[in-house]
Structure 1
Amino acid sequence: MKHTTIIRERPKRSGKHSTPDGAICGNGDIGVILGEHKNGMTCHISKADFWLAGEDGQSDGGIKPVGMLNFDIPHRLYENYYVEQRMDEGEIFCRFSDGKDYAEFLIFVSHKTRCVWIKSEFSENIPFKLPEFIPADIKGESLRKDENDGALFYKMKFSGDNLVFDTEMNVAVRNIDSDRGNICVISLDSSFDKKSDLSRIKEYNEETYDRERDDNRAWWKKFYEKSSFTSSDEFLEMNWYASQYLLAVCALNTDFPPGLYGNFITVNRVNWKGDYHLNYNYQGSFYGACSSNHTELTDCYSAPIFDMRERGRQFAERFLNQHGVFYPVGIGPKGMLTERCDDVWEKMFLGQRSNAIHSTDIMIMRWYATYDKEYAQKIYPFFLDVAAFWEGYLVNRDGIYNVVGDAVHEIPYYKDGFDPKEYDEKIHEENNLLSLGLLRMFFKCLIDISRELDRDSVRREKWQDIVDNLHEFPTFEKNGKEVFRYTSKGTDWNDSNGLCIQHIYPCGQIGLSSDSKTLEISRNTFFTNDRWDDGNAGCSIFPCSARIGLDPKLIIKRMKQNFDKFQLPNMLFLHGGGCLENSSIACTTLNEMVLQSYEGIIRFFPVWDRDIDCSFRDLRADGAFLVSASVKDGKIDGIKILSEKGRKIRIENPFEKAEVSPDGKIFVTDESIIETETGVGSVIYIKEK
């Protein structure tokens, strides 16, 4: 199946402050988004590291667009809008035609040279006007334009004592004659890049274009070779690949990861400054990366979190008299705050204490998926800071650890005339479900990493005591059924969000190995909450439905309904919250439906509709295993497991009797759980006997 999105609707949202709807391509750093102007097509260009690092409540701070190119296209052609977002090749193809005349474009971003390439071809009867690069309208900032040997050079800069860091963007633009058309190349170089010689753009020609196009296609081919997902249901397969594509086009700058709107920036001021929202949005974009075997897309994830450590320590001591780190809701890159409020500090935190620990969840997923000790050493110092905060902040009452004064929902301290008395109950909430789930997930992982690295053995007793004696997940009766209560003291329920299930996903504290009573409460909670069409938390709600074993036909039906309601032509989503995090819904949920491993047991197709044929290759399971399998005509087949680290493996037997072949040895078992040792590089095959 070719994974190409056909777009026949002209872009309507390129001037909006949130999610654009035009076709997208990118190289993980530079993004191109199609829009339109009064005479035809616009190519918006953005870059992950082009930030105005202003704090102090500056409304103009945040990630910025670099500029755009306008292409004039006769209306009689342009009204026949046809665009292909070619996800397999990482490019955009456009053809506008009235059946007689045409205008065609092929657009991609090079992974080698930080260049945007736009090749255009017009029929002989159509006049062609060279596109002009229009720098973004960024008021009050320096802009310089020079011309040299047919190339245009632009320099844009944000600088000043009021900024956390200075940013400079250099842009070179050149038009190259081509048969019946033109090739426009735009080279970008920021102050954070390894310097390149932009003047080399004068040497580029049509052969350069051909070579860059072939290299780009080869890069995407290699990217998709890391894993695959095929299904007889084309909707499911297409959206699984869209999840991979939309993260890959914006998540390869290791110092500037994608925020709320990735590098899909078309206007000077996007909502929430396009920041890293730590109370779920930022993390949500990466939920499916590790299970899809694209851990490289999480290389960038920790950069802004680590860069905030020093300020996080200051906040913990200054505001809560604690050791460790205390993080606000929204942060930017390189230690930048996107909402600095010196008058009322809670405007940065909104009553929540869990943002730093919440930011560890992708790191935890990656650790269990890879058991990479180098990565563990990288994240461990930050984990110690998080642990230090909670060791001091938790309140021990009669041997039970309680989370006190940590709001489950944001408290609107930013509102004019905010009256704390009105929110007194929320300000003093105790034991919210999310924080309890995060704490269990975090301290279990910290103990595991500490053992693997042979570090801090004397502290493990305290950490284990927290795990063993943390307040239980609160419950109460609603509509005649026992459900999880949002907090043990304070908010009992809220019909307008999905925070009552996030201790299940992403925290992973309840699943198919849980006792029947816990699963019953989980399912009661899920259906009572009924947030299939949630405007914020879809990236948690759908994978949660698989974790607790809901009817797979229902999951797929409701996923299709959600996507029909919220998905834009370019496969992004227009929800009430951010943007990019919802692109993870498909791959995260489908991965959970065909392969689960988070409880130390690998399960094949545990929540799958067996009427749908499906196969996957090299999905990543906890324990550092690469797993492949298929289901056809309702029967599981083709099971292959590669052990990267040589760890012991436990598998839920998918057959009444299974033939297991680890490293060429064969044994037959009818045990419900198959256990066997593995070596580094071991391959295990399993088939029905």
Structure 2
Amino acid sequence: MEKYTRKVISLLLLSIAIGTTANAQEIYAGRYKAIFTQEPENVPTGKTPDGPLAGNGDIGLTLGGDGSHLRFFFGKNDFWRAYPVYPGGGIAFPGFMDLKIDALKGADYYAEQLPDSAFIRARFSKGDLQVNLKTWVSANNNNVVVELAANKPTKINLGLHAATGNTSKTAKGRIKDVFWVTRSFEGTDLLEWPAHVAIALKGIGKAIGSDGTLTLNKDEKATLVLTLYTNFDRKKWKEKAIEDTESLTGNIIKQRWSEHLDWWKNYWSKSEVRIGDLFIEKYYYASQYFFGATSRGDKFAPGIWGPFVTKDSTAWGGDYHLNYNYQAPYWAAFSSNHIEETENFDQPLLDYMDKGRSFSKQLLGTKGIYYPVGIGPLGLTTTHWPLTADEMEKRYGTRDNTIDNGYKFLGQKINAVFSVGNMLMRFYSTYDKAYAEKVYPYLLECANFWEDYLKFENGNYVIYMDHYNEVMPNLRNQGQWKHLLGDYNSTLSLGLVKMLFKGILDMSDFLNQDQSRKAKWKHIVTHLSPFPVSEKGGFLSLKNVEKSPSPWQQGVNGLARVSIHGLVLPGGVCGPKTDSAFNAILLNDVKNWEKKTTTKGDWGNTFGNGIETCFPAAVRVGYSSDKILGFLKDRIEVQSLPNLWITAAGGGIETLSAVPLTVNEMLMQSYEHVIRIFPNWNRNKDAEFSNLRAYGAFLVSSKLGAGDIKYVHLLSEVGRVCKMENPWPLKKVLLKRKDGVIELKGPVFEFETQKGEQIELVPFN
């Protein structure tokens, strides 16, 4: 009976895999893997690669090539060419390792990307020859490990290479059994700081020949280990890479594999969802895997493409784009309880504050901070206009490269404030005093700017010249763009400014700082101009801006990706409970997305950008969860990669929050500090979740079955008062805690908690 059951389950899982997409992906052991039956088509690339991926939040490994010529591309979040213009500046490509097996020309290709344990497994077969490969990036160390085995004697030619060009200096050599290469950027004009990387390689159990050859005997296993260090990892980056590689042994690698498994086991234990939809779950967990492989709290923050960089001069320099791309990858991490992986977010913003103050004073004559559209780490500006008028004309259709003193602000004043949304998400999710003290100066400088920049007219604060979209010269408008400037009361600006002042009021109370300024801040919150709406088709609908000279911003536009940023994500100033009448307007706008969808997958106009924004926002305003999931499946099927990465035209890692945040918002919400259980979920569909993080620093678990919520479990991390919508509106609720049971009732209730306390709530007739 047991053998029969296993066979049925295996067949079921296989049929699910075949019926899902053409990419031959399948469910495996409760988690999901990507399966590849042909070599990647889009490696190398200036955007997201389509090959198998592994990473540790600092080092990224992309597997390219076929069985006879594999190429291991190594990316690193802290290796930048600190040059202010792209192409040329931005995240840089360290190098690669080639693995050539002539006997496998024309071989069958099979590879798996396994998120549970974060490794890649592959098999290459031709005739009676089979070579097996396993490769992983150590979760806790700067090592990449490649394990090889063959069923008959096989010759392998290895090559370790640093990337070249783009003003870099490279070197290579061999010390004892260790091969090494280096790449450096230093000593060139306008370079803000030097960057160096070393990659060292050796064989364990079987040394690599002096000519780079490795011969495997029948059923023999060999292990290749690489170490990657930059000058930000170690002061003696080259020496340490070589030294540490030389010291590695089989037992050390075995121990690091065990520690690697423990790290990922802990990562997956942070939270869990089960919704009975295998397709959505597959992309939910794939996205969580990629985020864990992309971001590590104590390392440099990832740029647009994360550490999966396969060439220099990736799109937009792979920088930190501040008008949503940089912020969006983190949005699901807060509710998914992956707080540790968000630690790196704030540092680039804090490092840029001196420049931001200077821009604000010199360019606008205001206090506070004013940020351009793109920055990098360590105070780097990535978005200078081209340095020559000729290059400016070639790329943007005008010879004026002195716009805004040569920096790309693109008509937007809101870039610094955009990141406040992430800071507030983390603050409200943890109530960590040390964190609040760290970011409060940033919020304060944003408040200083907007106190100074806002105009008070006819009883309301208004916003001039902060633009809903980027406004800039380009080849399409032939450099004629200044007539488009003049947005007045953009919904993006109004929402984010309201978010800022509501948030700084909360944080200043928490830290007991700047009490004398609260009256002004409250006045701004209560007297900021209302969000612009107008009648269209017999209904009120949102306008992008109240007034604008731009033809694209005139008329009634309805809720869209950019306005969502101000109002819902990360703005968080709107929702069904915030203002039900205004939410009804937004909900009707979302309903109209369906009428405008003429191409499968483009609901909400998300092919270009916005999948991480429009889908969870539709959940928040109350649109049908079943319809949202249906449209989400369409979007993924039309535009995703074999490695399970959901792609967008305008960015890379931003899409990693799309599915997790959409699902999390369906199962649990806590905006405005009220916890809501299954707030937008079809109650006829069973679902459960564990340890989703709610505002107030609560970890929440619950289960829905046969139409009823069975329980709510709560862990209070810091002991705040908990406010919750009654999960059983027509029933009383028993609250069970260690020291007794109390009865709660009503549509919304509050109760005290203690730090570290575990609480259970169940219905009571």
* Bucket of the pairwise TM-score, normalised by the shorter protein: over 0.9
Asked if structure 1 preserves the Cα contact closer than 8 Å seen for 2:639 and 2:647, the reply is yes
Counterparts in 2 of 1:533 and 1:485: CA distance versus 1, 3 Å: closer
Amino acid at match of 1:31: G
Any conservation in 1 of the 2:272–2:691 contact (CA below 8 Å)? Answer: yes
Q: Distance in 1 between matches of 2:619 and 2:86?
A: 42
Q: Contact (CA 8 Å) 1:501, 1:526: kept in 2 or not?
A: no
1:43 aligned onto 2:72 = yes
- 172-181 vs 158-167, which moves further: 172-181
Kindly indicate whether residue 338 of structure 2 is the aligned counterpart of residue 294 of structure 1.
yes
Matched positions, count: 685
Q: Are the equivalent residues in 1 in contact too, given 2:543–2:559 (CA < 8 A)? A: no
Q: 2:693 matched to which residue of 1? A: 620
- SS of residue paired to 2:583: helix
Matches within 5 A, 1:590-605: 590-605=663-678
1:412 corresponds in structure 2 to 472
What residue identity is the alignment partner of 1:518? F
1:188 equivalent in alignment to 2:202: no
The AA in structure 1 aligned to 2:131 is A
- Deviation, 1:115, is 0.7
Query: Structure 2 vs 1, CA of residues 575 and 97 (structure 1 numbering), >3 Å: closer, same or farther?
Result: same
1:438 aligns with 2:511: no
- Cα distance in structure 2, aligned partners of 1:683 and 1:204: 44
C-alpha distance after superposition, 1:206-229 (max 9, x if no partner): 223222211111111111122122
Distance in 2 (CA, whole Å) between partners of 1:291 and 1:131 is: 44
Q: 1:577 aligns with which of 650, 653, 664?
A: 650
Query: CA deviation digits over 1:509-560, x for unaligned, max 9?
Result: 1113134321210112223345435120111101101101111110111111
1:45-88 deviation per Cα after TM superposition (whole angstroms, max 9, x unaligned): 11111100012x35211111111122224686865322211111
Alignment match, 1:282:
326
Once residues 591 and 124 of structure 2 are traced to their aligned partners in structure 1, the CA distance between those partners, rounded to angstroms, is: 47
Given the alignment, which residue of 356, 370, 381 partners 2:430? 370
Q: Which of 125, 138, 155 pairs up with 1:128?
A: 155
Contact 1:130–1:175 (8 Å) recurs in 2: no
Q: Percent identity, aligned pairs only?
A: 33
String of CA shifts for 1:380-419, please: whole Å, max 9, x gaps: 1111111111001001102210011111011123558755
Matches within 5 A, 1:502-651: 502=565, 503-529=567-593, 531-534=603-606, 535-651=608-724
Task: Name 2:349's counterpart in structure 1.
Answer: 305
Question: 1:175 maps to which residue?
Answer: 203
SS in 1 for 2:545: coil
Render the CA deviation track for 1:28-49: whole Å, top value 9, x for unaligned: 1001011116943221111111
Q: Does 1:336 align with 2:395?
A: no
Partner of 1:138: 165
Shift, 1:157, TM fit = 1.0
Question: Are the equivalent residues in 1 in contact too, given 2:116–2:265 (CA < 8 A)?
Answer: yes
Q: Quick one: distance in 2 between partners of 1:601 and 1:674? A: 9
Alpha-carbon contact 2:54-2:137 (below 8 Å) kept: yes
The yes-or-no answer on 1:379 pairing with 2:420 is no
Q: Which moved more, 1:406-415 or 1:366-375?
A: 406-415
Structure 2 distance, partners of 1:615, 1:686, is 15
Report the residue type matching 1:135 in the other structure.
A
| Compared CA separation, residues 481 and 7, structure 1 to 2 (3 A) | farther
Distance 1:46 1:272 in 2: 16
Q: Matched residue of 1:542: which SS?
A: helix
Distance 1:75 1:396, change over 3 A: farther
Deviations 1:592-642 (A, max 9, x none): 000001122111111112343222111100011011111123221231001
Residue 496 of structure 1 and its aligned partner are, at CA, apart by 11
Using the alignment, how far apart are the partners of 1:121 and 1:645 within structure 2? 51
Alignment partners' CA distance in 1, 2:743 and 2:515: 41
Deviation at 1:236, TM superposition (A): 2.4
SS of equivalent residue, structure 2 residue 426: helix
**Deviation of 1:99 (Å):** 7.5
Within 2, Cα distance between the matches of 1:79 and 1:320?
A: 62
Q: Which amino acid aligns with 1:500?
A: S
User: Is residue 65 of structure 1 aligned with residue 93 of structure 2?
Assistant: yes
Q: Partner letter of residue 302 of structure 1?
A: D
Q: Name the CA distance, whole Å, in 2 between partners of 1:532 and 1:678.
A: 41
- When structure 1 is superposed on structure 2, of 539-548 and 80-89 the one drifting more is 80-89
Shift in CA distance, 400/139, structure 1 to aligned 2, threshold 3 Å: closer
- The within-5 A match list for 1:459-478 is 459-478=517-536
Letter in 1 for 2:646: F
Structure-2 separation of matches of 1:670 and 1:455: 37
Matched with 2:564 is 501
Q: CA, structure 1 residues 536+688, in 2 after alignment: closer, same or farther (shift >3 Å)?
A: same
Deviation at 1:181, TM superposition (A): 3.4
Worse-superposed segment, 219-228 or 400-409: 219-228
In the alignment, structure 2 segments of 5+ residues that lack a partner are 1-29, 207-218, 386-400, 595-602
What do the CA deviations read for 1:435-486 (whole angstroms, capped 9, x no partner)? 1111111111101111111111111111111001000010012233211100
* Matched residue, 1:316: 360
Given that 1:255 and 1:304 are in contact with CA atoms closer than 8 Å, whether structure 2 keeps it comes out as: no
Please name the residue that 2:742 is paired with: 667
Deviations 1:82-135 (A, max 9, x none): 22111110111112235743211111111333010011112205x231421121
Residue 680 of structure 1 deviates from its aligned partner by: 1.1
Q: Does residue 231 of the first structure (1) align with residue 275 of the second (2)?
A: yes
Which stretch of the first structure deviates more once superposed, 450-459 or 612-621? 612-621
Between the aligned partners of 1:495 and 1:43, the Cα distance in structure 2 is 46
Cα distance in structure 2, aligned partners of 1:40 and 1:494: 51
Amino acid in structure 2 at the alignment position of 1:176: I
**Post-superposition offset of 1:348:** 0.6
Amino acid at match of 1:306: L
Q: 2:8 maps to what in 1?
A: none
Deviation (angstroms), 1:672: 1.0
Q: Give the equivalent residue in structure 2 for 1:680.
A: 755
Partner of 1:489: 547
Indicate if the aligned counterparts of 1:157 and 1:166 stay in contact, CA closer than 8 A: yes
Query: Which position in structure 1 is the counterpart of 2:147?
Result: 119
Matched with 1:32 is 61
| 1:497 Cα offset (Å) | 5.7
The 3-state SS of whatever aligns with 2:531 is coil
TM-score, structure 1 length as denominator?
Answer: 0.95
Q: Displacement, 1:237?
A: 2.2
What's the offset of the Cα at 1:253?
A: 5.7
Question: Which whole-Å CA distance do the structure 1 matches of 2:254 and 2:621 have between them?
Answer: 50
Matched, 1:479 2:554: no
What are the equivalent positions in structure 2 for 1:38-117 lying under 5 Å apart?
39-55=68-84, 57-73=85-101, 79-98=107-126, 100-117=128-145
